[in-house]
Amino acid sequence: MHHPVPYDVIIAGAGPVGLLLACELRLAGLSVLVLEQAGTPDSQLKRLPFGMRGLSVPTIEAFDRRGLLDDIAMPQQKPSTGKDSQEKKEPRRQAGHFAGIAFDHDNIDSARWPYRLPGPAGTNMAAEMEHIEIALAARAGAMGVEIRRGLGVESLDQSDDGVTVRAGNETFHARWLVGCDGGRSTVRKAAGFEFTGTDPEFTGYSVEIEMADPDTLGQGRIYTPTGMYFQSRPGTIAMVEFDGGAFHRSQPVTPEHVQAVLRRISGTDVTVTALKLATTWTDRAYQATAYRKGRVLLAGDAAHIHSPLGGQGLNLGLGDAMNLGWKLAATIRGDAPAGLLDSYFGERHPVGAQVLDWSRAQVALMRPSPNSRALEAIIRDLIATRDGATYFAERVWGISVRYDLGRSHPLTGRSAPDFELADGTRLGERLRNGRGLFLDFDASPALQALASRWSGRMTYIASNARERLGLSALLVRPDGFAAWATDGEPDMEGAAQAVSRWFGKPE
C-alpha cells in the first residue's frame, strides 16, 4: 500500500520519547505519524516493580510545562507543592544514590541553586513506565497524532526533500523522519549513523523469584567479592555479574541459571523455586556521533545507550524530545534561524555524553575488586559532606544541566525559574501552548516594542512576579530554557540578538 500524502514528520517508535516528540510537533501544528513495531503497548516489564522510573527535575518541569504532570504522576506520588528538598525536616532522608551510595536530603544545600523557585515540580518523582506511555499516547491521540501499531520501520530512503519509509507492506512519505525506536534502533542503522562507545563489563539481571530459603539473602544493596545484588523487597532482585556482558541475550534466562548466578554473587547456597519474571541488561555505553543525517534525526535510546544504573536514560531521552520538537517545527515551517536545528546536537550530545560517563563511573565503583572498594570508601566520605551531597544531588536530579548559550548572565542556558506572575499564573502554565515567552517584569516600552516584532512566534508578558530573583527581564525558549536574561537596564542590542538567534528574523 502506498500513502501518497506526505506527513511533515514520521516518528519511528511509540516509546515515551517518540510520543512526547509527537506531542511537541503536533502542538506546533505539524502532521505527525508514529509507527510502532509492537502490536500492543502491553509489557509486564513496563509495570511495577520493573517499570518504576525515577523522573528528574528537567523531566518534571517539562511535563508541568505541557500540562501533563497530573496525568503522569502515580496516584500515591502526586508531586509535592511547596518548596523542595529543604522544607520537611526529618532525620537522614535518602535523596538519591550513586552506585548505591546514598546521599541525604538534609545535607543538600539548595541555597546554591539561586534560580530554582518552589512550584508543583519538585526535585524527584517516581512514575510507572506503562502509565507514562498511556498518558502520552492519550495526549498525542487527542491532539491528532496518528499512531499505527504493529508496523515497524524496516528500511528508508532519503532525498533532498523527503524520506520514504517502509513498514510492513506499506510505504510512507514524510519531509522528516525521527528514529525514537530504542537502543537497537533500525533507523539509526539504516541511515548509517556511527555509534561508538565502551563495551560491557557485566550482565545485569532484574528478576522476580521465589526462594525455598528467603532469609538466606540480605535486604538492600550488597557488594560481594564477586558482584553486587540488590533485594528491594523479598524476591525482587537486581544483580550484576562481571562476565563481560557475555550472558546478555545469548540464552534464555532459566530458574537454574538465575540460581547459579545468585549463588556465585551472594556466596550463599540459596535455592530458587520459581522464576516469575526476568530481564537482562548490560553496561554497554554507546552514543551516536551525530544526531542528524540529512532529513533523518535520532532521539532517546536510539541516540544513546547506557546501563540503567543511575536511572537516567528516560530523562535523557525526554530532554532530547523537548529540545528537538520546537526546533524541527520551526525548520519545517520555514522560520527557523540559521543553525537552529544543528543546536539540537550541539546542546544534547554533551548532556548525553555526561550521562554515559556518570554510568561508567558507577560501573568503576561496582567492580568486585579491592581498588573499587577503596574508591567506594572515598566516595562515601565525600557524599556525606555538604558539598558532596549537593554535587551529587545536582547531577542526579538534573539541576546541573546548562546549555552553552553564552555566559552573558548566570541564568542563560539553564531551565527558567517557575516565576509566579502578578495574576497568579506560573511560568510553567504560560508555556503550555508551546510558544516562547518574553517576560518583562518592569514593563519596559522599549522591550515591548522589540518583542512585538516577533509576536507571531513568542508571547510578550509585561508583569511583575512574586519573587523575581533580581531579574528585570528574560527570554524563555519554548522548551523552557532561558536564552537571555538581565538584572538591570536591558541591553537592547543583546536582547534583539538573542531573540533573532532563537526565533529567526522579525516578521
Ligand X SMILES: Cc1cc2nc3c(=O)[nH]c(=O)nc-3n(C[C@H](O)[C@H](O)[C@H](O)COP(=O)(O)OP(=O)(O)OC[C@H]3O[C@@H](n4cnc5c(N)ncnc54)[C@H](O)[C@@H]3O)c2cc1C
CB 166, min distance to ligand X, A: 11
**What whole-number distance in Å separates Cα of residue 150 and Cα of residue 440?**
49
Contact 204, 314 (CB under 8 A): no
For residues 259 and 312, which CB has a smaller minimum distance to ligand X in the complex? 312
Q: Are strands 7-12 and 32-36 parallel, antiparallel or unpaired?
A: parallel
Which DSSP symbol is given to 405?
Answer: S
- Binder to ligand X among 17, 137, 351, 450 (CB under 6 A)? 17
Residue type, 329: A
- Binder to ligand X among 315, 359, 362, 444 (CB under 6 A)? 315
Contact partners, residue 192, CB within 8 Å, separation at least 6: 293
Is 281 a binding residue for ligand X by CB under 6 A? The answer is yes
User: Which residue's C-beta sits nearest to ligand X?
Assistant: 15
**What whole-number distance in Å separates Cα of residue 350 and Cα of residue 406?**
15
- Binder to ligand X among 96, 311, 436, 490 (CB under 6 A)? 311
Q: What are residue 223's phi and psi, to 5 degrees? A: -85, 135
Q: Which residues pair with 205 in a beta bridge?
A: 239, 280
Is 96 a binding residue for ligand X by CB under 6 A? The answer is no
- Binder to ligand X among 6, 10, 15, 163 (CB under 6 A)? 15
- The distance from CA 303 to its chain's CA centroid, rounded to whole angstroms, is 12
Distance separating the N- and C-terminal Cα atoms of the chain = 42
Residue type, 275: L
- Binder to ligand X among 8, 9, 10, 18 (CB under 6 A)? 18
Stretch that binds ligand X, among 87-95, 307-315, 324-332, 424-432 (CB under 6 A): 307-315
Stretch that binds ligand X, among 82-90, 117-125, 255-263, 310-318 (CB under 6 A): 310-318
- List b or e across 109-133, with b for residues whose CB sees 16 or more CB atoms inside 10 angstroms: ebeebebbbbbbbbbbbebbbbbbb
- Binder to ligand X among 107, 206, 282, 444 (CB under 6 A)? 206
Computed from CA positions of residues 471, 474, 479, 481, in that sequence, does the dihedral angle turn out positive or negative?
Answer: negative
Q: What are residue 460's phi and psi, to 5 degrees? A: -95, 130
**What whole-number distance in Å separates Cα of residue 10 and Cα of residue 6?**
9
Burial of 500 (0-12, 13-18, 19+ CB in 10 A): middle
- Binder to ligand X among 8, 128, 201, 301 (CB under 6 A)? 301
**What whole-number distance in Å separates Cα of residue 106 and Cα of residue 122?**
16
Is 329 a binding residue for ligand X by CB under 6 A? The answer is no
For residues 150 and 218, which CB has a smaller minimum distance to ligand X in the complex? 150
Nearest to 31 by CA among 140, 170, 138, 119: 140
> What stretch of H or E contains 346?
helix 342-366
Convert residues 130-169 into a mask of x (bound to ligand X by CB under 6 A) and - (unbound): ----------------------xx----------------
Is 181 a binding residue for ligand X by CB under 6 A? The answer is yes
Is 352 a binding residue for ligand X by CB under 6 A? The answer is no
- Binder to ligand X among 237, 314, 431, 495 (CB under 6 A)? 314
CB 243, min distance to ligand X, A: 18
What cell was used for 329? 517545527
For residues 300 and 413, which CB has a smaller minimum distance to ligand X in the complex? 300
- Binder to ligand X among 37, 107, 231, 323 (CB under 6 A)? 37
For residues 182 and 490, which CB has a smaller minimum distance to ligand X in the complex? 182
**What whole-number distance in Å separates Cα of residue 490 and Cα of residue 371?**
54
Is 58 a binding residue for ligand X by CB under 6 A? The answer is no
How many of the chain's residues bind ligand X (CB under 6 A)? 31
> What stretch of H or E contains 484?
strand 482-486
**Radius of gyration of the CA atoms of the chain, in A:** 24
- Binder to ligand X among 22, 25, 33, 53 (CB under 6 A)? 53
Stretch that binds ligand X, among 77-85, 267-275, 308-316, 453-461 (CB under 6 A): 308-316
Is 50 a binding residue for ligand X by CB under 6 A? The answer is yes
CB 27, min distance to ligand X, A: 18
CB 277, min distance to ligand X, A: 11
For residues 59 and 486, which CB has a smaller minimum distance to ligand X in the complex? 59
Interface positions, 434-463, toward ligand X (CB under 6 A):
none
Half-sphere exposure of 490 (CA within 13 A, CB side): 28
- Binder to ligand X among 6, 96, 122, 182 (CB under 6 A)? 182
- Binder to ligand X among 282, 312, 323, 362 (CB under 6 A)? 312
Q: Which residues bind ligand X (CB under 6 A)?
A: 12-18, 35-38, 50, 53-54, 152-153, 180-182, 186, 206, 281, 300-301, 308, 311-315, 317
